[in-house]
C-alpha cells in the first residue's frame, strides 16, 4: 500500500483533487471529515470534551464555535484540545488504513507539513493555484469574510513553501489540467508498485 499525503492551503482545490484520486480507484481518507465524525453526536471526542471542556459540548456534539470561544479566552486551551483530538484522529486514520484494500491511499491532510505528517507517508502532493483564484474560490463559498480568509491563510504555511517540500505539485487552474496531473501521478506510483 502506497501512502500519498495530499495537502494545500484553503481554496486551492484540494477536495476536488482528492475526488479525482478517488475516481481513479485510490482510497481517500479526509482529516477534516474525520474531525467532523469525532465531534458529531456519538463521536469519540464528545466524552473527553465533556469531561475537560463541558461548555464545548452542545446537544451531544462538540461545538466548533464554543471551542473557538474557549481558545479566545484561554489560548493555552488549544494544547489541551489538540491532546484530545490528535490521538483520536490518528486512530481514525489507522482504522481506515486497516480496512482498505486499495493500492494507493490518499491522506487528505490540510496541515500535512505543519504537523509533521509528511514523515508518515511515502510521497506528498500539494495543490496550488494563484492568489486571486484562491481568494475568489473561498469568497464564492459565502462562508467567511475576507478578513477571516486572510487570517486563516496567514496561519497556514505559504503555498510556495508547501510546493517546495512536496513530491508532486498539482496546479488546479483548470479541472482538465488538474485531472491530467492526477492521472499522471497515479500512473507513476502504480508503475513503481508494479516494478
Q: What is the pLDDT of residue 60?
A: 95
Count how many domains the chain has. 2
Confidence grade of residue 165 (pLDDT, cut at 50, 70, 90): very high
The answer to whether the CB of 127 falls within 8 A of the CB of 172 is yes
Domain boundary among 49, 84, 101: 101
Same structural domain, 124 and 194 = yes
Domain with 77, as residue range(s), is 30-101
Same structural domain, 92 and 19 = no
Domain boundary among 51, 85, 101: 101
Whether 87 has a pLDDT exceeding 90, the answer reads yes
User: Which candidate, 101, 105, 103, 109, places its Cα nearest to that of 35?
Assistant: 109
Whether 151 has a pLDDT exceeding 90, the answer reads no
Q: Which domain CATH number covers 40? A: 3.40.50.300
Could you tell me what percent of the chain has a pLDDT over 90? 85
Q: What is the pLDDT of residue 156?
A: 84
Same structural domain, 127 and 191 = yes
Same structural domain, 160 and 195 = yes
Mean residue pLDDT of the chain comes to: 94
Whether 180 has a pLDDT exceeding 90, the answer reads yes
Amino acid at each position: 500500500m502506497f501512502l500519498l499525503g495530499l495537502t494545500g492551503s484553503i481554496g486551492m482545490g484540494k477536495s476536488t483533487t482528492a475526488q479525482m484520486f478517488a475516481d481513479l480507484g485510490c482510497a481517500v481518507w479526509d482529516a477534516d471529515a474525520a474531525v467532523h465524525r469525532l465531534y458529531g453526536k456519538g463521536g469519540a471526542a464528545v466524552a473527553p470534551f465533556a469531561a475537560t471542556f463541558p461548555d464545548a459540548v452542545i446537544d451531544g456534539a462538540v461545538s466548533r464555535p464554543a471551542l473557538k470561544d474557549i481558545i479566545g479566552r484561554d489560548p493555552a486551551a488549544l494544547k489541551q484540545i489538540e491532546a484530545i483530538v490528535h490521538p483520536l484522529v490518528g486512530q481514525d486514520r489507522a482504522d481506515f488504513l486497516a480496512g482498505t484494500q486499495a493500492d494507493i491511499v490518499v491522506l487528505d491532510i490540510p496541515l500535512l507539513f505543519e504537523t509533521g505528517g509528511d514523515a508518515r507517508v511515502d510521497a506528498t502532493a500539494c495543490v496550488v493555484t494563484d492568489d486571486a483564484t484562491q481568494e475568489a474560490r473561498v469568497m464564492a463559498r459565502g462562508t467567511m469574510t475576507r478578513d477571516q480568509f486572510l487570517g486563516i491563510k496567514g496561519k497556514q504555511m505559504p503555498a510556495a513553501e508547501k510546493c517546495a517540500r512536496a513530491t508532486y505539485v498539482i496546479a488546479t487552474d483548470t479541472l482538465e489540467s488538474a485531472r491530467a496531473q492526477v492521472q499522471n501521478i497515479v500512473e507513476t506510483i502504480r508503475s513503481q508498485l508494479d516494478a
